[in-house]
């Protein structure tokens, strides 16, 4: 089983001959029988769950599972989440990347107190099919609540998905840090580790896919699989690769590209999502691994000693079946409208330093960026410090224009973009609807919690 549930013991995940040990979190039960309506209940509560096999730990869980259950919806659906906060602290549900009314965003403006209840209701917009996720966004405790186990997938499907017939896998990547008894290891606030965590964000030495350690996916020679990858880690940036083969990158945060792009490896920053097509290029009976390759996102003084080491995430195992006829992948996936930057009414320069945005720490009463409904604007993100900052804008998907002056080679919808150290990234965004106050912040959760966050007000 993928998902760790209370009072359930699990066999140690097998690396060698176990078949398809990767399984999915449960899917949230739709309480509505009305077509076009998805109504679910999500309860956040303390739980006792073995995140490490056989070692129960005190965690927080959505509906008793880590990762939380997956919310499945279709474009056009009216989604209602009945959220119950049974945690001993305020929390929210932020549907990361979903275009919805500001008051439904689960931002720190709308905290749900301990014992409180809140309904989030929004309609999924057409053209937004893609891979999203949900997590708490309570202000200064996001890293803690996510580390304790609060994160889950949110998948939006299109009726005209051009690769709907390709078998699909969900891969929720997370990491965590444990004591020897399997309990979660949070450093003392005055320790050196706490200072390193404030700088790097919390990185754990145990890597999970759907809550499992080194699970196995079966693939047949010649087969193509669609992998929806979510980086739910608090800080870790993955550089995904399967040694010796290319991957087809077909989608970003906000869904499919116009055309597949072949890559040798792909960077997935904290909270980013990618859709990949993985072709079974191995021989029957062989095995390979999905790895995360070294990537240096760190300031020199806190760079971890093992940063230059590749880590295996899961095994990809070829059964004994004869190769199947190669599966054709469509060359055209969909059309993505261009945001017309010749009509951009403003360029906002956003300077990222260590823990601050434009020289300010988060102030709920301050508006950093003012914008008007119906306009298109350019944001210029300038990282002037020695480490990467993955930047997230709430509510509105954007199109990356260029990175350090190099035009983005393809068009896609994104809600997070990694801004590498001392680099500049520009994106275009259109505020079509939904006035209100929106967060933007670094998605290294420790940075966000420290105040590397600001407010966009759209009127
Ligand atoms: Cu940051």
User: For residue 270, how far is its CA from the centre of ligand 1 (angstroms)?
Assistant: 10
Instruction: Look at residue 4 and tell me whether its pLDDT is greater than 70.
Output: no
Query: Is 10 a residue whose pLDDT tops 80?
Result: no
| CA of 450 relative to ligand 1 center, distance in Å | 10
249 alpha carbon to ligand 1 midpoint, in Å?
Answer: 25
Ligand 1 mean position to 79 CA, how many Å? 31
- Per-residue pLDDT of 89-147, as tens digits, reads 999 999 999 999 999 999 999 999 999 999 999 999 999 999 999 999 998 999 999 99
Higher-pLDDT residue of 19, 278:
278
Between the CA of 387 and the centroid of ligand 1 the distance, in Å, is 8
Bridge partners of 176, per DSSP, are 206
Q: What's the gap in Å between 271 CA and the centre of ligand 1?
A: 12
**Is residue 15 scored above 50 in pLDDT?**
no
Which residues 6+ apart lie within 8 Å of 195 measured at CB?
A: none
- 390-420 pLDDT, tens digit per residue, is 999 999 999 999 999 999 999 999 999 999 9
How remote is the CA of residue 128 from the centroid of ligand 1, in Å?
A: 27
pLDDT tens for 196-234 read 999 999 999 999 999 999 999 999 999 999 999 999 999
Three-class HEC string of the chain: CCCEECCCCCCCCCCCCCCCCCCCCCECCCCCCCCCEEEEEEEEEEEEEEEECCEEEEEEEECCEECEEEEEEECCCEEEEEEEECCCCCECCEEECCCCCHHHCCCHHHCECCCCEEEEEEECCCCCCEEEEEECCCCCCHHHHHHCCCCEEEEEECCCCCCCCCCEEEEEEEEECECCCCCECCCCCCCHHHHHHHHHCCCCCEEEECCECCCEEEECCCCEEEEEEEECCCCCCEEEEECCECEEEEEECCEEEEEEEEECCEEECCCCEEEEEEECCCCCCCEEEEEECCCCCCCHHHCCCCCCCCEEEEEEEECCCCCCCCCCCCCCCCCCCCCCHHHCCCEEEEEECCCCECCECCCCCCCCEEECCCCEEEEEEEECCCCCEEEEECCCCEEEEEECCEECCCCCCECEEEECCCCEEEEEEECCCCCEEEEEEECCHHHHHHCCEEEEEEC
Ligand 1: distance of its center to the CA of 453 in Å?
A: 9
Q: Separation of 418 CA from ligand 1 center, angstroms?
A: 9
**Ligand 1 centre from 352 Cα, in Å?**
8
Q: What is the mean pLDDT of residues 6-20?
A: 42
pTM of the model: 0.95
CA–CA dist 224, 191 (Å, integer): 47
- Residue 309's region, left for phi above 0, alpha for psi from -120 to 50, else beta, is beta
Residue 452 Cα to ligand 1 middle (Å)? 7
Asked if pLDDT for residue 68 goes beyond 60, the answer is yes
* d(C-alpha 431, C-alpha 396), whole Å: 7
CA distances, 373 to each of 277, 350, 370, 381, 434 (Å): 37, 20, 10, 21, 8
Task: Give the Å distance between the CA of 225 and the centre of ligand 1.
Answer: 33
pLDDT at 18 > cutoff 80: no
Q: Residue 309: is its pLDDT beyond 90?
A: yes
> Which residues pair with residue 119 across a beta bridge?
82
Q: Which pLDDT value is given to residue 6?
A: 41
Query: What is the rounded distance in angstroms from the CA atom of residue 174 to the CA atom of residue 67?
Result: 9
Model confidence at 353, pLDDT cuts 50, 70, 90, reads very high
Return mean pLDDT, the chain.
94
203 CA from centroid of ligand 1 (Å): 13
Cβ proximity of 415 and 392 under 8 Å: yes
pLDDT at 235: 98
pLDDT value of position 19:
65
Confidence label for 326 from pLDDT (cuts 50, 70 and 90): confident
List Cα–Cα distances, 347 to 20, 267, 342, in angstroms.
49, 27, 12
CB 437 within 8 A of CB 369: no
Q: How far is the CA of 24 from the centre of ligand 1 (A)?
A: 30
Distance 293 CA to ligand 1 centre (A): 21
């Amino acid at each position: 089983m993928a998902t760790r549930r209370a009072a359930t013991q699990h066999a140690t995940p097998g690396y060698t001959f176990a078949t398809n040990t990767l399984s999915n979190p449960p899917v949230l039960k739709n309480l509505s029988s009305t077509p076009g309506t998805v109504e679910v209940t999500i309860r956040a509560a303390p739980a006792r769950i073995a995140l490490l096999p056989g070692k129960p730990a005190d965690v927080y869980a959505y509906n008793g599972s880590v990762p939380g259950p997956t919310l499945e919806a279709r474009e056009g659906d009216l989604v209602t989440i009945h959220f119950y906060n049974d945690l001993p602290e305020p929390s929210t549900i932020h549907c990361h990347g979903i275009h919805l009314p500001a008051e439904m965003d689960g931002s720190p403006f709308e905290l749900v107190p301990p014992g409180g209840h809140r309904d989030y209701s929004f309609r999924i917009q057409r053209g937004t099919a893609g891979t999203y996720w949900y997590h708490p966004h309570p202000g200064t405790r996001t890293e803690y609540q996510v580390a304790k186990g609060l994160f889950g997938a949110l998948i939006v499907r299109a009726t005209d998905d051009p690769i709907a017939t390709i078998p699909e896998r969900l891969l929720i990547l997370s990491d965590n840090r444990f004591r020897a008894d399997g309990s979660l290891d949070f450093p003392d606030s005055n320790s050196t580790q706490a200072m390193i965590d404030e700088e790097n964000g919390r990185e754990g030495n145990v890597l999970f896919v759907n809550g499992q350690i080194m699970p196995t996916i079966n693939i047949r020679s010649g087969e193509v699989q669609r992998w929806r990858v979510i980086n739910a880690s608090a800080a870790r940036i993955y550089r995904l690769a399967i040694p010796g083969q290319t991957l087809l990158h077909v989608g970003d945060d906000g869904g499919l590209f116009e055309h597949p792009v072949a890559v040798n490896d792909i960077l997935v920053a904290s909270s980013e999502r990618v859709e990949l097509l993985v072709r079974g290029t191995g021989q029957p009976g062989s095995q390979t691994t999905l790895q995360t390759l070294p990537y240096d996102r760190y300031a020199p003084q806190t760079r971890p000693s093992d940063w230059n080491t590749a880590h295996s995430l899961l095994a990809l195992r070829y059964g004994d079946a004869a190769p199947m006829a190669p599966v054709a992948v469509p060359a055209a996936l969909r059309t993505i409208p261009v945001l017309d930057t010749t009509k951009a009414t403003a360029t906002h320069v956003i300077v990222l330093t260590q823990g601050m945005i434009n020289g300010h720490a988060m102030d709920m009463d301050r508006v950093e960026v003012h914008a008007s409904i119906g306009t298109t604007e350019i944001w210029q993100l300038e990282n002037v410090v020695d480490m990467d900052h993955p930047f997230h804008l709430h509510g509105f998907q954007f199109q990356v224009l260029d990175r350090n002056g190099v035009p983005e080679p393809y068009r896609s919808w994104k809600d997070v973009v990694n801004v590498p150290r001392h680099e500049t990234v520009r994106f275009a965004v259109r505020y079509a609807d939904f006035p209100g106050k929106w967060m933007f912040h670094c998605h290294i959760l420790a940075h966000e919690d420290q105040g590397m966050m600001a407010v966009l007000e759209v009127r």
